[in-house]
Chain A
C-alpha cells in the first residue's frame, strides 16, 4: 500500500497529512517534502492521525524535523499522532511527550502568536 501525502496550507503553515506507513521506505520522500515545507512556510503541521505503521527510522525523522524547526525558528506541530506512532516512540525508550509534544491547544497557540521570521 502506497503512503499518501496530502499537502495543504493554512495561515502560512504547511499542513501535511500522512496516510499509511511512516517508515524507512518513505523516509527519503518525506524528508525532502519536510525540507520544502520548512523552506517555503512559517512552519509545518503534521497530521499523523492516519499513520498505520511507524518504525525507528520514522521516529528519527520526526526528531530531525523538530531539531530543524528549533534551529531555524520555525513552527512544528504534530497533530493527532496515531497509536502506532506513539507506540513506535515509546518502544524505543523515548519520551512521547517530548518527541511528539502532545499538547492540546498547541495549534491554536501557534496561530495566536506566529513565530518571528
Chain B
C-alpha cells in the first residue's frame, strides 16, 4: 500500500493549479508551520537512525514525515517541494524495506535534502532566501544514484520495516498454583514486570483466603485479573509468565484495539438516557429524576443479591471498565489544536488585567465589611488564580522541542572540526515559557559551539590525555523551585582560572591585588571584549560571545554561572524563570513610590541605622555579616525628592556573585504579580524592566537590578 502511495506524483492541470493557488493563501501559513515541525522531526529521526541503524521506528518516522511533507505540499500548491521530496521518499521507502542500508552517505543526503526543503519552503513563503537549483539537482542526482545502486542488488539486508504494533488492551487472567511459592516465585515480580509493559490495572482476588485455622502459609490463595494496554504483542506478555507457565492457569484475551475507541464512535454510542429525555421535555423535574435514580439498583448489586456472581467478580469487572475509560480518555486528551501565539498573548494579557482588577475588588470589599459580597469575591479570587495558571500553562512547551536542533549542530560542527562528539540530552520534557525557549536558543547555540570549539579536543589529543576518544556534551534541563536550571556540560579541557585572571589583568579588567574566588574569576569571562582563545576561529572565540550570552540571559530574568576544572571539563549553569509574565517580588517603598525587586535575586533584608551611615563616611558601603557591601539608594539613583527616614531598609541582592544592597525607605512585603510592559516612551528608562498595577490601582515599577548596578558603577 505504501509503495503505491509513494510513487504517485500529483499532476494538476493548469486550471486546477490556479484554483489551488487562489485558495491556498490561507493554507500557506498552516503548511509552513506544519512543515517546519515535520522537518524538525526529520532531523531528529535521521540523527536517531544514524546512532542506531536498526531503529525501525526511526526509519518509519522519517518516512512518514517526508510523506506528509510531499502530500500536503502537493495539496497546498507547493509543487516543487512535493516533486523534490518525492525523490527522498522513494529512497526512504527502500530503506524501510531494507534494500538500502543506513549508512553515513544516506544520512548525509537525507539531511542535505532536509535543508534544501527548508530553503525551498522559506523561499515559497516569501522569505529572503534563494533556492539554488543546481544544488537541488545535485541532491536529486545523489538520491537517484542510491536508488540505482539498490536496483543492482548491491545491498540486500534483512527487511527493516515492520509497522509498530498498535496499542491493544488485554485481559489477563492469572491464577497461580497453590504451590507457586515453593518454586521461589513471588507473583509480585511478575505483576511488576507486566506493569512495565504499559498502562496496567491490577485486581487481586482474595476471597479464597481461609480463616487462620485452615490457612496454609505456604499456599498461594490469591489470583488476579489484569487489564493491560500496551503496544507489545501477545508473545511479549506470555514471556513474562514463561517460568511459571506450568504452575498456573493463564488466559490472555484482547478486549480492545486503539481504533475501537475513536472519539466519534464513543460519542456515537452515547445515546441519551430516558431520564434525560423526560427532564428535557419537562415531563419530570431533575429532582424527581434524582429521587427515582436513588431507588434504582446497579446491575452489579442485583446480580450479587441473586447470587449470580460474587462481589469480587463485579469489582473486577468495574476495574476493567474504569481502565478502558481511562485509556480512551487519555487518547482524547492527546487531541490538540493549533493556536496563533498572538492570540495566546492576548489571552495572557487579558487574564493579567483580570488578576489586577480582581485584586482591586478584593481590597475594596475587605474594607466594606460586607459578608454577602465577600463570599463571591473570594470565589472569584480562586477562579482568577486558576484561570491565570491555566493561561500561563498554555504558553509552556517542553524544552525538548529545541534539543533536536542542537543535536544537528553538534553533529555538523564536530565533523567540520574532525572531532568526535556526542550530545546527550536530559529533561527534554521540562516545560518553559515559549518565549523563553525561543530566546534561549541563540545563547545555547553559542555555549554549545564554545564547548565544541574550545572545550573538547580531537580524538587523538583526547587519547593522549587519557580520555575516551568520544567527547561528550551534556545538555540538561531540570526544575529547581520556581526556576528551570539548564546545564551545558562538556568533558573537555576545562578553563584555567589562573590564565583567566592573568588575561583579565592584562586587559586591565582587574587590579593585581584583587582577591577573587574561582567563581568570580570565571564570571570575568562574561565581561565584554574578553576572550582567552589564542586564535580567532570562525566558530567562536571572537571575544564577543559570552557577554552577549549573559546580556540575553539577564534580559530574560535568568542567571548564568560557570564551573570548571582543568582537565575535567566545564559547565555553564543557566537558571531561568518559568515565565516572563509573572514575577515573584519584594515590594519596597521610597516615599509614596513603590518598587518591586525580583525575589530570585534577594538574599536578605536588614536595617541601615544612622550609626551605620555615620560610619560609611559618604562611601555608600556598609558591613553586613562581616562583609563590606556597596549599596545603592533607590532615591538617589532615580533622583527622587524627599528625605531618607532615620532608619532605612537595605535589601541584599546577589548578581554574578557580587552582593549589593538596595536601599529603600520601607519594605512592604512579598508580592506575586503580573508584569506589564512600560509604554514605548519609557521603554529605554534605565534600571526599570517593567511595571505592575497594585490592588489599590497604583503602579509599582519593577527594578532591573543588574542594570541598576551597571548604572551605579558608571
Q: Which of A55, A61, A64 contacts B186 (CB 8 A)?
A: A55
Q: Which of B192, B204, B215 contacts A61 (CB 8 A)?
A: B215
Is B181 a contact of A57 with CB atoms below 8 Å?
Answer: yes
Return the chain B residue nearest A37 by Cβ: B212
> At the interface with chain A, which of B220-228, B335-343, B413-421, B668-676?
B220-228
Return the chain B residue nearest A64 by Cβ: B215
Q: Which of B201, B215, B224 contacts A31 (CB 8 A)?
A: B215
A57 with B218, Cβ < 8 A, contacts A63-B206, A65-B212, A71-B211 known: yes
The smallest C-beta distance from A113 to any residue of chain B, in angstroms, reads: 24
- How long is the Cα–Cα vector from A91 to B188 in the complex, in angstroms? 6
Task: Say whether A40 faces chain B, with CB atoms less than 8 Å apart.
Answer: no
Interface residues of B in 198-213 (CB under 8 A from A): 201-204, 206, 209-213
Task: Say whether B191 faces chain A, with CB atoms less than 8 Å apart.
Answer: yes
A-side contacts of B212, CB under 8 Å = 31, 34-35, 38, 64-65, 68
Task: Say whether B626 faces chain A, with CB atoms less than 8 Å apart.
Answer: no
In the complex, which of the residues A68, A71, A91, A93 has the most CB atoms of chain B within 10 Å of its own CB atom?
A93
Is B217 a contact of A31 with CB atoms below 8 Å?
Answer: yes
- How long is the Cα–Cα vector from A35 to B215 in the complex, in angstroms? 11
Is A93 a contact of B191 with CB atoms below 8 Å?
Answer: yes
A61 with B217, Cβ < 8 A, contacts A24-B181, A92-B191, A93-B202 known: yes
Task: Say whether B545 faces chain A, with CB atoms less than 8 Å apart.
Answer: no
Is A28 a contact of B217 with CB atoms below 8 Å?
Answer: yes
Return the chain B residue nearest A71 by Cβ: B211
The smallest C-beta distance from B345 to any residue of chain A, in angstroms, reads: 45
A-side contacts of B192, CB under 8 Å = 91
- How long is the Cα–Cα vector from A92 to B187 in the complex, in angstroms? 8
Interface residues of A in 62-117 (CB under 8 A from B): 63-65, 67-68, 71, 88, 91-94, 99
The smallest C-beta distance from B667 to any residue of chain A, in angstroms, reads: 42
Return the chain B residue nearest A26 by Cβ: B217
A-side contacts of B217, CB under 8 Å = 24, 27-28, 30-31, 57, 60-61
- How long is the Cα–Cα vector from A91 to B186 in the complex, in angstroms? 11
Is B206 a contact of A88 with CB atoms below 8 Å?
Answer: no
The smallest C-beta distance from B672 to any residue of chain A, in angstroms, reads: 35
Main SS at interface, chain B: mixed
Is B187 a contact of A67 with CB atoms below 8 Å?
Answer: no
The smallest C-beta distance from B566 to any residue of chain A, in angstroms, reads: 45
- How long is the Cα–Cα vector from A67 to B187 in the complex, in angstroms? 22
B-side contacts of A56, CB under 8 Å = 181, 186-188, 220, 222
- How long is the Cα–Cα vector from A9 to B234 in the complex, in angstroms? 54
Is B206 a contact of A60 with CB atoms below 8 Å?
Answer: yes
Q: Which of B203, B211, B213 contacts A93 (CB 8 A)?
A: B203
Interface size bracket, B side = 20 to 34
The smallest C-beta distance from A69 to any residue of chain B, in angstroms, reads: 9
The smallest C-beta distance from B217 to any residue of chain A, in angstroms, reads: 3
- How long is the Cα–Cα vector from A63 to B191 in the complex, in angstroms? 19
- How long is the Cα–Cα vector from A60 to B221 in the complex, in angstroms? 8
Is B204 a contact of A93 with CB atoms below 8 Å?
Answer: yes
B-side contacts of A28, CB under 8 Å = 217-218
A92 with B222, Cβ < 8 A, contacts A60-B206, A67-B210 known: yes
Is A92 a contact of B224 with CB atoms below 8 Å?
Answer: yes
- How long is the Cα–Cα vector from A94 to B226 in the complex, in angstroms? 12
Interface size bracket, A side = 20 to 34
Is A64 a contact of B209 with CB atoms below 8 Å?
Answer: yes
Is B224 a contact of A64 with CB atoms below 8 Å?
Answer: no
Number of A-B contacts (CB under 8 A): 74
Interface residues of A in 34-56 (CB under 8 A from B): 34-35, 38, 55-56
Is A24 a contact of B218 with CB atoms below 8 Å?
Answer: yes
Q: Chain A, 6-42, contact with B by CB distance < 8 Å: what is the 0/1 string? A: 0000000000000000001001101100110010000
- How long is the Cα–Cα vector from A38 to B211 in the complex, in angstroms? 12
A-side contacts of B222, CB under 8 Å = 56, 59-60, 92
A-side contacts of B209, CB under 8 Å = 60, 63-64, 67
- How long is the Cα–Cα vector from A28 to B218 in the complex, in angstroms? 8
Return the chain A residue nearest B221 by Cβ: A60
The smallest C-beta distance from A110 to any residue of chain B, in angstroms, reads: 19
The smallest C-beta distance from B650 to any residue of chain A, in angstroms, reads: 47
Is A68 a contact of B188 with CB atoms below 8 Å?
Answer: no
- How long is the Cα–Cα vector from A9 to B53 in the complex, in angstroms? 69
The smallest C-beta distance from A97 to any residue of chain B, in angstroms, reads: 13
Return the chain B residue nearest A91 by Cβ: B188
- How long is the Cα–Cα vector from A99 to B209 in the complex, in angstroms? 12
Is A93 a contact of B224 with CB atoms below 8 Å?
Answer: yes
- How long is the Cα–Cα vector from A28 to B204 in the complex, in angstroms? 23
The smallest C-beta distance from A62 to any residue of chain B, in angstroms, reads: 9
The smallest C-beta distance from B176 to any residue of chain A, in angstroms, reads: 9
B-side contacts of A60, CB under 8 Å = 206, 209, 215, 217, 220-222
- How long is the Cα–Cα vector from A27 to B292 in the complex, in angstroms? 50
Return the chain A residue nearest B315 by Cβ: A95
Q: Chain B, 434-461, contact with A by CB distance < 8 Å: what is the 0/1 string? A: 0000000000000000000000000000
Return the chain B residue nearest A54 by Cβ: B188
In the complex, which of the residues B181, B186, B215, B218 has the most CB atoms of chain A within 10 Å of its own CB atom?
B215
B-side contacts of A93, CB under 8 Å = 191, 201-204, 224, 226
Interface residues of B in 216-245 (CB under 8 A from A): 217-218, 220-222, 224, 226
B-side contacts of A30, CB under 8 Å = 217
B-side contacts of A94, CB under 8 Å = 204, 206
The smallest C-beta distance from B587 to any residue of chain A, in angstroms, reads: 42
- How long is the Cα–Cα vector from A33 to B33 in the complex, in angstroms? 71
Return the chain B residue nearest A98 by Cβ: B206
In the complex, which of the residues B203, B206, B209, B221 has the most CB atoms of chain A within 10 Å of its own CB atom?
B206
User: Which residues of chain B have a CB within 8 Å of any CB of chain A?
Assistant: 181, 186-188, 191-192, 201-204, 206, 209-213, 215, 217-218, 220-222, 224, 226
**Can you name 24 A-B residue pairings with CB atoms under 8 Å?**
A24-B181, A27-B218, A31-B217, A35-B213, A38-B212, A56-B222, A57-B218, A59-B222, A60-B215, A60-B222, A61-B215, A61-B217, A64-B209, A65-B212, A67-B209, A67-B210, A68-B211, A68-B212, A71-B211, A91-B192, A92-B187, A92-B188, A92-B222, A94-B204
- Extra 12 A-B pairs, beta carbons < 8 Å, given A27-B217, A60-B220, A60-B222: A56-B220, A57-B218, A57-B220, A60-B206, A64-B209, A64-B212, A65-B212, A71-B211, A92-B204, A92-B222, A93-B191, A93-B203
